[in-house]
Amino acid sequence: MNKLAVVALGGNALLRNNEEGTIEQQEQNAADTVENLVHLIKDGYELVITHGNGPQVGNILMRNDAGEKMYSIAPMPLDICVADSQGGIGYMIERILRNVLNKHGIKKNVITMVTLVEVDQNDPAFENPSKRVGKTYNKAEAERLAEEKSWIFKPSTKEKNGFRRVVPSPVPIDIINKETIELLVNNGNIVIAAGGGGIPVYYDEDGNVRTVDAVIDKDRASGLLAKNIGADELYILTDVPFIYKDYGLPTQKKLEFLNYADTLNYLEIGTFAEGTMEPKIKACLEFIKNGGSKSVITEAKKLEDKSFGSKITMNYDQKDIEKQKY
């Protein structure tokens, strides 16, 4: 049986900071990224692909604002916006990947699934919204919207004197579509799922699915999905080739081979940047803790190189490092 891997595409897989975000740019970025996944497919891996949606769902929310203000179009809630981004981004990745597979003579079906992810409605995150979404407002606009819509705002981290809406980011506890995803991938299909961390939902006392205004971290959802479907490996693709200790400081050091205990210690002492590398490390550790054989954090173009990326397993030691070939 082929190995099963969940591959989480970072936000720069489609939309990069210095770009306008045109469809041509996003399609080219998608093609550059998924081209690298061919190396895993040729090595015999079955794949489930997840992806971020931060810039895209932000743009959808801004269209919400513009439509409401200019044309009195009823705005859609956040869960619908996340679903919209899942469908649009998933379609784009699926179409581009089908073309890449065709170029390489690989016959595989690709399926995009809008994915619901269960959260706990009593998660502490709902008492402390922290995830910035949507456009930046000035102070007066933010105060007006806070009054009208009961939104919560925090200062923008990028624009001086600006404010952005913040929403909760609860921990994912279950992938509701996991059985279908597992069935599809075990039958040789490539599945695109849990886009943007999935649509956060919970079950009420009658067992009905209810929505919440929140977003889920894509990497945490990817790690949970990998655990739920019994994946062997988890790949988190980002914009750096390795994990670094003291990143950006004179003491910076590449961390290529890590075991669970050492990685957990690095996490607890604050080695990894909060909000960027930290959630990726947490996702990898949770996956390994629950039986995954290996987690890898690297950039997409490194997948061709068998020595790529930072690798986390349960019990790496120096002897393993010396004898292991990737």
Domains within the chain, CATH numbers bracketed: 3-120+173-324 (3.40.1160.10), 130-167 (no CATH)
* Length, in residues, of the chain: 326
Per the annotation, the verdict on 131 as an active-site residue is yes
Query: 216, 119 in Cβ contact below 8 A?
Result: yes
How many angstroms separate the CA atoms of 46 and 232, rounded? 10
The whole-number pLDDT of residue 303 equals 86
pLDDT recorded at residue 273: 83
pLDDT 10s per residue in the chain (326 long)?
Answer: 689 999 999 866 787 778 888 899 999 999 999 999 999 999 999 999 999 998 889 999 999 999 999 999 999 999 999 999 999 999 999 999 999 999 999 999 999 999 999 999 999 999 999 999 988 999 999 999 999 999 999 999 888 999 999 999 999 999 999 999 999 999 999 999 999 999 999 999 999 999 999 999 999 999 999 999 999 999 999 888 899 988 888 989 999 999 999 999 999 999 988 878 999 999 999 999 999 999 999 988 888 776 678 999 998 755 554 444 43
Catalytic residue among 10, 11, 54, 58: 11
Which residue out of 218, 282, 294, 311 is catalytically annotated? Answer: 218
In the three-class reduction of DSSP (H, G, I as helix; E, B as strand; rest coil), residue 271 is classed as coil
- Among the listed residues 29, 53, 90, 131, the single catalytic one is 131
Q: Which residues contact 195 (CB under 8 A, 6 or more apart)?
A: 50, 51, 52, 53, 85, 86, 89, 90, 114, 115, 218
Q: Is 162 a known active-site residue? A: no
Strands of 310-313's sheet, edge to edge?
110-112, 190-192, 46-51, 4-9, 233-238, 294-299, 310-313, 257-259
| Catalytic annotation present for 90 | no
Residue 323 is predicted with a pLDDT of 46
Catalytic residue among 10, 12, 64, 177: 12
Continuous segment of H or E residues that includes residue 243: strand 243-245
Catalytic residue, from 280, 282, 294, 302: name it.
280
- What pLDDT is recorded for position 108? 97
Provide φ and ψ at 244, rounded to 5°. -125, 140
